[in-house]
Amino acid sequence: MQEQKKTIVVLFGGQSSEHEISRISATTIMTHMDPNKYFILPVGITKEGKWLLYNGPVEHIKTDEWEKYGIPTVLSPDATQKGLLKIVGDKVKWIPVDLVFPVLHGLYGEDGSIQGLLELAQIPYVGCGILSSSVSMDKVYTKIIVEKEGIDQAQFVKVFRKELSHMPVVVEKIEEKLSYPCFIKPSNAGSSVGITKAHDREQLIKGLLEAAKHDRKILVEETIIGREVECAVLGNDQAKASGVGEIITEAEFYDYEAKYHSESSKTVIPADLPKEVVEEIQEKALQIFKAVDGRGLARVDFFVEKDTKRVVFNEINTLPGFTSISMYPMLWEEKGMDKKALVEQLIQLAMDQE
Count of structural domains, the chain: 3
Q: Tell me which residue of 240, 242, 326, 348 sits closest to 290, measured CA to CA.
A: 240
Contact 43, 72 (CB under 8 A): no
Q: In what order do the strands lie in the sheet with 156-160?
A: 156-160, 217-222, 182-186, 196-198
Cα(76)–Cα(121) distance, integer angstroms: 7
Amino acid at 351: M
Q: How many CB atoms lie within 10 A of CB 30?
A: 22
In a domain, 81, yes or no: yes
Domain end residue (candidates: 196, 222, 248): 222
Classify residue 305: in a domain, yes or no: yes
Does any domain span residue 257?
yes
139-148 and 130-137 helices, crossing angle to 10°: 100
Task: State how far the Cα of 47 lies from the Cα of 208, in Å rounded to an integer.
Answer: 26
CATH code, 242: 3.30.470.20
Q: Which of 169, 197, 222 is the last residue of a domain?
A: 222
Please give the full DSSP string across 177-227, using - where no structure is assigned. H--SSEEEEESS-STTTT-EEESSHHHHHHHHHHHHTT-SEEEEEEPP-EE
DSSP state of 4: P
Same domain, 35 and 99: yes
Q: How far is CA 89 from CA 46, 53, 67, in A?
A: 20, 14, 17
Does residue 109 sit in the same domain as residue 197?
no
For the chain (length 354 residues), average pLDDT per consecutive 10?
A: 84 90 95 95 95 91 88 96 93 96 91 96 97 94 96 96 97 97 88 85 97 93 95 96 90 50 73 96 98 97 94 95 92 96 97 75
Cα(247)–Cα(233) distance, integer angstroms: 17
Residue 332: per-residue pLDDT: 97
Give the three-state DSSP class for 301. strand
Residues 329 and 244 in one domain: yes
331, 230 Cβ separation under 8 angstroms: yes
Answer for the pair 24, 334: CB distance below 8 angstroms, yes or no: no
Domain assignment of residue 130, yes or no: no
Spatial CB neighbours of 262, under 8 Å, sequence gap ≥ 6: 249, 250, 251
Residues 216 and 231 in one domain: no
Say yes or no: 232 and 171 in one domain. Answer: no
**Considering 168, 196, 222, which residue would you say is the last residue of a domain?**
222
Residue 112 CB: number of other CB atoms within 10 A? 22
User: Are 74 and 168 part of one and the same domain?
Assistant: no
- Alpha-carbon span 313 to 310, nearest angstrom: 10
Q: Is the domain of 76 the same as that of 193? A: no
Do 141 and 271 fall into the same domain? yes
Q: How far is CA 315 from the centre of its chain?
A: 10
Secondary-structure breakdown of the chain: helix, strand, coil percentages, each rounded to the nearest 5: 35, 30, 35
First to last CA, the chain: 23
Q: Is residue 218 part of a domain?
A: yes
Instruction: Establish if 345 belongs to a structural domain.
Output: yes
Structural domain includes residue 248: yes
Both 266 and 145 in one domain: the answer is yes
> Whole-prediction pTM value?
0.91
Q: Check whether residue 215 and residue 248 sit in a common domain.
A: no
**Domain annotation covers residue 1:** no
Residue 245 identity: G
Strands 217-222 and 99-102 come out as unpaired
Do 32 and 113 lie in one domain? The reply is yes
List the CATH number of the domain containing 121. 3.40.50.20
CATH number at residue 218: 3.30.1490.20
Host domain of residue 145: 135-150+225-351
Verify that 167 and 91 share a domain, yes or no: no
Beta strand pairing call for 217-222 and 266-268: unpaired
